[in-house]
């Protein structure tokens, strides 16, 4: 894929003797919505952390807008993060700050804008997610879907080039899920941003993503458009998409026979 803002090349990463990623290659084009899917523990969120420079690869590289992330010093990492917005799992709002103050936080942290400009920008961002009227509520007063939308407004507060979503649909009811799907797509297109979604929710992601990577056993097991992957004959992809109990991903974690463990 050409015109990529993020390029991951021959990425290897692990903890101790456990290698989580084994030679992963990914490209994320400007202006597109891409998804990283796979089972729990497959290292999906770790890829977002590598892009954001929170951790460094064992080998290989992550390049963001022409800059190799792990070669940057502290100031360089902060400059890169200025181009990124992040929606964390379950929103991760500051519970002691109002909705308004949560969205204003990155503006105050990363800019010298006067308060009257910050006020207008915060209200515009909240209006974009349908929650301008909730500006002065506190996080405990919000439903799960509302909290996720506030977190999205905070993620786009600085009009980032890259927006990353870590399990944005977790714990949402079907209506809230549909709203978040629509917002991810519409905000990405309106901002001309590049969106990366880490998720295991098949139906929702396939409804609006442009391109999808499936990660399994430390490698990219499959990739393509939703239409291409729906037609895939690969056993892992079929098992994941159709939520089949039997397939390459086993129910039991690797262990000796139960007779050995129970001394039978």
Sign of CA dihedral 113, 117, 122, 127: negative
* Predicted pLDDT at 43: 84
In contact, 130 and 51? CB cutoff 8 Å: no
pLDDT higher for 240 or 185?
185
Residue 227: Cβ within 10 Å count:
8
Rounded-to-integer distance, Cα 116 and Cα 93, Å: 23
**What is the tens place of the pLDDT at every residue in 189-208?**
988 899 999 988 888 888 89
Q: Over range 151-163, report the average pLDDT.
A: 91
Closest-CA residue to 29 (of 183, 233, 195): 195
Residue 180, SS3?
helix
pLDDT value at 212 more than 80: yes
Rounded-to-integer distance, Cα 138 and Cα 42, Å: 35
Topology classification of domain 4-261: Rossmann fold (3.40.50)
Q: Over range 223-241, report the average pLDDT.
A: 80
Query: Tokens 């890259």 sit at which residue?
Result: 162
The band of 264, judged by pLDDT with boundaries at 50, 70 and 90, is low
In contact, 199 and 172? CB cutoff 8 Å: no
Which runs of E-coded beta strand occur in 168-261? Answer: 194-199, 211-216, 219-224
Closest-CA residue to 33 (of 203, 180, 184, 251): 184
**What is the tens place of the pLDDT at every residue in 25-57?**
999 999 999 999 887 777 889 999 999 989 999
**What is the tens place of the pLDDT at every residue in 77-92?**
888 888 898 888 766 8
Q: Over range 120-132, report the average pLDDT.
A: 92
pLDDT value at 257 more than 90: no
Q: Map out the domains of the chain as residue ranges.
A: 4-261
Q: How far is CA 150 from CA 88, 108, 135, 172, in A?
A: 11, 17, 9, 14
Closest-CA residue to 178 (of 130, 228, 240): 130
Query: Tokens 């101790």 sit at which residue?
Result: 16
pLDDT value at 170 more than 90: no
**What is the tens place of the pLDDT at every residue in 2-13?**
588 999 999 999
């Amino acid at each position: 894929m050409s015109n990529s803002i993020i390029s991951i090349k021959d990425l290897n990463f692990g903890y101790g003797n456990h290698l989580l990623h084994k030679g992963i290659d990914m490209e994320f084009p400007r202006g597109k919505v891409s998804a990283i899917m796979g089972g729990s523990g497959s290292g999906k969120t770790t890829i977002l952390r590598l892009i954001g420079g929170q951790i460094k690869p064992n080998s290989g590289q992550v390049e963001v807008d022409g800059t190799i992330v792990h070669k940057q010093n502290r100031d360089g990492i902060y400059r890169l993060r200025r181009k990124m917005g992040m929606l964390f799992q379950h929103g991760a709002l500051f519970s002691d700050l109002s909705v308004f103050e949560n969205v204003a936080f990155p503006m105050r942290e990363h800019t010298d804008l006067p308060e009257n400009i910050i006020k207008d920008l915060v209200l515009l961002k909240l209006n974009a997610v349908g929650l301008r009227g909730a500006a002065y509520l506190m996080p405990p007063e919000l439903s799960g879907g509302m909290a996720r939308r506030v977190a999205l407004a905070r993620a786009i507060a600085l009009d980032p080039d890259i927006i990353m979503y870590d399990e944005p649909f977790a714990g949402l009811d079907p209506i809230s899920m549909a709203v978040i799907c629509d917002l991810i797509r519409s905000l990405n297109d309106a901002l001309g941003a590049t969106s990366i979604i880490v998720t295991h929710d098949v139906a929702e992601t396939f409804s609006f993503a442009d391109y999808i990577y499936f990660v399994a056993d430390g490698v990219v097991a499959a990739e393509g458009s939703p239409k291409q992957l729906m037609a895939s004959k690969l056993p892992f992809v079929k098992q994941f998409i159709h939520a089949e109990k039997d397939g390459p991903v086993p129910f039991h974690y690797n262990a000796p026979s139960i007779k050995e463990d129970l001394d039978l």
